[in-house]
Structure 1
Amino acid sequence: MSNILTKLKTALQQELIKEPLNFERISELHDQLLALDPQATRFTVDAQHIHRLGFELVGKQETALSELIKNAYDADATYINIDFKDYDKQGGTLIISDDGNGMTLFDIRENWMRLSTSDKEKNPLSPLYGRSRAGRKGIGRFAVERLGKQLLLETKKKDETKKIRVHFDWDIQYKSGKLLTRIINPIEQFSAEQNAHGTTLRIGKLWDKWTKNDFIQIWKSVLFLQPPFEIPLCHRASKNDIETYAPDPGFKVRLNGELRNEAVPELSIEKNFLANRTALIKGWIDAKGKGHFKVHSEILEFEDKQDSEDNYQEVGSLEFEVSYFIYNSKLMLSVHQARQFGKKLGGIRVYRDGFRVLPYGEPSNDWLQLVIGERNRLLKAKNENFFGHVALTSAENPALEETASREGLVENEAYKKLCDFIKECLEWATLRVASYRQLENEQVNSNSKNHQASASGALQEHIDELKNQPQGSSIDAHQMAHQLEKVQAIVKKKEQKDIQYSEMLRVLASLGISIAVFSHETGGAVTRLKASLTNLHSRILSACQNSTEINEHFEQVNQTTNRLGDLASYISTQIEHSVTRNKDNIALYAVIKKFIEQFKNYFNTRKISFEWEVIPNVLRTAPMHRSEIDAVLFNFLTNAIKAMERNNAEQRCIKITATRQDNFAIIRFQDTGAGVADNIKNSIFNAFFTTSSQNRQDEIAGPGCGLGLKIVSDIAKVNKGFVRLSEPDTGYGCCFEFGVPISSKQLKLAEV
């Protein structure tokens, strides 16, 4: 053994004085020397271990791609482009590029090439935007081996002058029987633009072919890579008391040239889906381990809170939020559409440090045992009935650690307590919802009985009338039957009106979905149309002599295009405000100003002058929906336009004022139309009463269906306010007043 040791020492000394150094030979001699140490033994790693890490720790191809997307996010990238070439068969190519921080040669050697590096443990937040880094195990890089047999890595840090390129051939170089430390990966350095930065991974000879369904799985993974809800503030941090991280511009994923909403629009988390929820359930554990629950239902009009009797100290502080859906036509408009969305994407997902932990929330993953658990006898719910997330952090929930495979949490005592906490909250909340639904049903039945009682009362009045007739009067069965028919006709007419009103509201609600799609498409079409018109205009001018006539025609086209754009913008804004069920104190100055700005071009083309004022300009309503105020203004506007059209008013003027009177915020809407005739003043707030012709249409006012003022009246009632005709100012023909209570804060200030 001494002879072998002497020969190795001599050989190593000779290699160390050569120029240039043969690093591969030095590494070989170094390993042989270490193997002869009589006092110790050391682990060695076979090169085949890379393959096992790639295929066994990152088993699914979509998981592998998700790991690479996470790495780009960790590197402060604002985008990542994923491009497949010849992906429909084995042996294709995948190019992944981002604009992240990039790496130096030191970073590559000390972090990227080191197995299970602790770099992200030591630096849990990204340097530029302070993002909570997703990686903790240092194995994400081996996802590239899971995807393909070859890798060409190119990377550059900002302000560096050289780009670095490293080549890996997993299939040829990393074979069984070779030591991992003996594998050589050639490095190239070449000049590049100084401000350029980021990393590109060119993965060649893909192991698998990729189908359309595979891409849908990728998008689904990307869809929930980060929570579809606002990240709690504890997931972001400052560097210190003085220096803060740069504002995070966001992170976009583009696959084969398309964003998710473009590639798979049916996977978009549409606000319309969340707006259909029966209730919003929230739970949190405070610093003392005490659990708290809250449930709020807009549709059932109740809110409740509860504290848990158990202690969850082992879990740590956390928050979770879940939308609860009951697929019932009484609670949502499109049950089929909502259920299909729930089946695709329903479930309660877990996010750790801002990133998704699989497989929680997948359709086949019943991690809370909602289906098979004993509690389900009360819950009567499963994954598709819930859509939400649990937010964990490594700082607040250190016992909730991910497994080495990055697919799931270690199922220790803290994990079991976490499951107990969430199930306790869901059970309590769903029972509260069931209780209020029962109460509502009782109220509906009571109202139905009252309706029947009123009909019976009307009949009784007629019977009493007949009884009170003078003696000797001829009261026969024919008279009784006639009176009964009259009462039945009144009741039937009332029922038909109620049914007609409900049906029309359902039609309008369904129509709103189509309008939402139309406004989205119209907005994009208008933008493209304007660009095309500008280009066409310049081309025609260069070819024609009479530029004045050409300019006049193009000005008319531009005006029409602008009106169409304004309308699309208004509809988009209304949809944005309508899909949320949250109420707020509405600042009337901002709402009225925005309303007027959106129709500015329309008013100019119709030669309508506008005057408005809000006193005081900080006037706010009690909590209500923003869309309700917009609906009131829009309905008043359409009525005013039609009235001025019918009146052929020479001076077309509209005046909106908002003032405080006692405890109410009152909006006065005036126009120079003919006003409301005395004989119809008592009917204008009834459903389906209209004076508009269905044949005369305007791009803003539209045809009349007789629901506008009825909707305004309903909005006033539900918000404990009023709507009424009022005396207009001099020069105006009509004035509507809409009043709702002011905000409690302004009310208290007034009392002080």
Structure 2
Amino acid sequence: MRHNERDIQFNVDAYTAKLIGRENVSKLEGAVLEIVKNAYDADAKIFCMYYSQEQQCIYVLDNGSGMKESVLRGHWMTIGNSSKKKVFKTAGNRIQTGAKGIGRFALDRISDRCEMLTVSEDGGLEWIVNWEDFDELKKLSDVKAKLYDTDESLLSYAQISDWKNRAVASVIRELDWGDTGTVFRLYGLHDEWGGKTIDKLKNHLENLLPPDVVNDFDIYFFDDETEIQKAKIISANLDSFDYKIEFQVCNDELKIGITRNEFDFGDEEERILKEAEIPEEEWKYFHGVVKTLSFFFPEIGEKENVIGNYRGILYFNKITATSQDTAKFYYKDIKGRRNLTKEFGGIKLYRDHFRVRPYGEYGDNDFDWLELAARLRRSPAGLGHKTGNWRVAPEQMIGIVDISRENTNLDDAANRNGIQEGKGFDQLKRILLSVITEFERDRQYIGRKLAAYKKKQDELQNQLDRMREKAEERRKWEEEREKQQDGEMSAAPVVNPEEVEELVDSLTARQEEEVKELRDEAKMLQTLATTGIVTNMFMHEIRTLTNNIGQELDAAYEAIKYDRDLDAAFQNVRQAIGFKKHFASWFNVTIESIRKDKRKRRLYNISEMLEEFLENWRAILNRNGVKLTAFCEKDIIFKCFAFDIENIISNLISNSLASFDRESESVLGKKEIHLRIEKWEKGFILYYEDTGWGLSDKYKKRPDIIMEAFESDKSGSEREEDEDGTGMGMWIVKRTVVEYNGDIDLSENKILDNGFKIVIRLGGM
């Protein structure tokens, strides 16, 4: 039975409060950042931090708005209570950066004792605290700070007349300090403030503010030995780049501006660009004109903007370039270029003009927070590769992304080290990768054109060289004949030409054999990849068949052993055999595709070659409610690898099945696939279409993108095993078509509401 009711209050140990602060401000750089942020949030235009080695003291000054006693008591002295939580715009219209009410513990991170003068429009207050008091066994409410009224000025309290660095002190004294601000004197320093610490913090402050963004907030940081011209922190700036990529997210639209600064075609630019078949509308972009692109969110695979508006600017810089690549791609000379990544870092994140660490921090684990290295490993193709996707390396990208406290779903992590993981941060990364991908496409488009042009030039040069050799041989033969006619005998040849020819033939044959082996190996990998895609597509059905066979055999075993019922057992076995037969079609479109005889390139009658293959697919599709209509002209004779043609069809059918399997499939009506193959003067044309959902908005404007490696339009699929798709099927199709000197037309998909259409022309290899 209850009696004697009374209330008891919660309390916090003082040391626990101190630990909370240290957990959130664990590094010296972070502590300095918090102090600078507080000055910025107070509308300061000047921030000054001076380390006096002689006095072993840190002086911190700003000319912000200062704190009234009500703010100092209610917010500064109340842990976790910040005046910036609800009202986060200052009188000077700055968006304040802090909101957790624990940034003041940055002072504890730096020193044991803190003396502060803060001057507001109501007058001056001196506040003194000894952080060591938090280490004793006291309740938080028992820890006291001293507070005094004072009329002392900011510069007097900073003891500027006693500074050893008289040169910088005179500069600081002449600045417009105004009538309000805050000064800290920090004693009992926890770190060794020497040359390395000063240099590290200076570099940290140089990267604290993004370049060319904040023009009304000057930072001074110096010690006893700092020269005048080095006392003021100048934000890192970038004046050398190969590509500049500006972007802006506004509501549900992504706008991108791409500036090329990498290529130099010299006086023969017009001839080179024409012969390289670069369209004239692209020429202006080699001369500083910004190439603008615009996408609504569904066009880049995003349903909606969950963050809000933000912007950024990225730079691409090659670290090295071979002389061969410089000549092939007409690069500008980058000799002597510094490794800008070490100096500027990677892609950095700024919130309301202040750096959010550790993103883009060179040498830190989160330097490559967009995982560009992993993208590069998945697709290591060179710039001029015909089908592979060139990917930028993390060390080649520099830039800033400017977010705001007004952005939603991008809250600071609890330990003030980065952004909280979640849907906002995930979308931010996806949007940035979309921006980078558009830059990569632009650069690779130019790279492929120039690589093909160089190959054409080399072939022409080889022909000219052979013609010169023939002309030289003819000239020597004429001279030799004239000598013989004059009665002179020529000397015996040093080398037997037949032996040379035999040696050359041997080397050529060996090289051709090595190339053939590599090509065959690549084709085998493509076939195995297609087999994996098809198998993965029907994994659920395969598992069901396997389970059904097992259940029927178990039932037959029990009928014989326990019931002595042979008729029932026989029926179970027959049912198991029926399920087993379904596997035959699977083996024929998967395992059978790598049969040895299909790995031989020879002349095929395409209709005969595909007859059994299509029947096997038809059996599989029928069980899944899909109708396959196929027609092939009878007299198409084509030299190829059988599995190449099968791979194309299997990947197309797999994509159709994924489309049919999307939710609300009843809206589509019938599930049908239509395939037609007709003769072409160079080979044959394959017309393929289905009645599925068609391409998503992400690919409507530019359907060719689906043929890039790792691009997948299967995100709407409910199949657990294929939720995201592999993104390799259409890349395999494109790679195969290129090998057969063919082309792919996806243009009709731009205007289709539903369904998918593709036209593939295949010539000879």
User: Taking structure 1 as the reference length, what is the TM-score of the superposition?
Assistant: 0.48
User: Taking structure 2 as the reference length, what is the TM-score of the superposition?
Assistant: 0.48
